[in-house]
A and B are shown apart, each in its own frame.
Chain A
């Protein structure tokens, strides 16, 4: 399967714990995006990388959130000191420069108890 993959698919954690999610983009794609989707809503943009550079961050990305893409391939999204309001589906997408279509992974569903 050469699509976008995300791990884990589900995560249950207690409030105050840290969690980390991983995204592996389509191999030839140099752009990678993180979105968050809450129940009944469309995805909301969090941040975007071109290669290893983080070029844009949404105001939704509080200082408890950090994303990295150290080698320009996979990316991680870490949430520190999780809160119940962080419960959502976290979606990763990738695209190529000059091609404006983003392809999404299956998402990581986070539940904070």
Chain B
């Protein structure tokens, strides 16, 4: 079955860039997503990328996709304390509507 893997924890200083990485196994993935979850809250969609793209930029967020290596990354420029949260990578494929999520990366931003 599909599997999505993420590192558990990342700590950065305010103002630095954060890079959160994700790997996936499903070669038929069509869309890949990044969601943000703050404590006790639901998931906020940050951005997504279609599998035929290799980069997408949206304000402070840059998504890079290496389809050959099945590697996805999220770069947050000028990281702020308000960016502290858990970030989930997710994928979907053409055959299913369900999203498959990783276990999340906890981003801690130190002042």
Shortest C-beta distance, A75 to chain B (Å), equals 15
Which residues of B lie under 8 Å from residue A44 when comparing CB positions? Answer: 101
Shortest C-beta distance, B18 to chain A (Å), equals 19
In the complex, per-residue mask of A78-101: 1 if CB is within 8 Å of any chain B CB, else 0: 000000000000010101000011
Shortest C-beta distance, A32 to chain B (Å), equals 10
B73 interface residue (CB < 8 Å to A): no
| Distance of A92 Cα from B59 Cα, bound (Å) | 28
A interface SS class = strand
Given contact pairs A48-B97, A56-B97, A100-B92, A42 touches B102 in the complex (Cβ within 8 A): yes
| Distance of A48 Cα from B44 Cα, bound (Å) | 19
A74 interface residue (CB < 8 Å to B): no
B interface SS class = strand
A2 interface residue (CB < 8 Å to B): no
What total of chain A residues lie within 8 Å of the partner, measured CB to CB? 27
A91 and B31 within 8 A (CB): no
Which residues of B lie under 8 Å from residue A100 when comparing CB positions? Answer: 30-31, 48, 92
In the complex, per-residue mask of B79-98: 1 if CB is within 8 Å of any chain A CB, else 0: 00000000010101000111
| Distance of A69 Cα from B111 Cα, bound (Å) | 46
Which residues of A lie under 8 Å from residue B4 when comparing CB positions? Answer: 42
B90 and A45 within 8 A (CB): no
| Chain A residue, CB-CB nearest to B44 | A104
| Distance of A95 Cα from B35 Cα, bound (Å) | 15
B42 and A40 within 8 A (CB): no
A102 interface residue (CB < 8 Å to B): yes
B10 interface residue (CB < 8 Å to A): no
12 examples of A-B residue contacts, CB within 8 angstroms: A31-B97, A33-B99, A40-B103, A41-B103, A42-B4, A43-B43, A48-B97, A56-B97, A56-B98, A100-B48, A102-B45, A103-B45
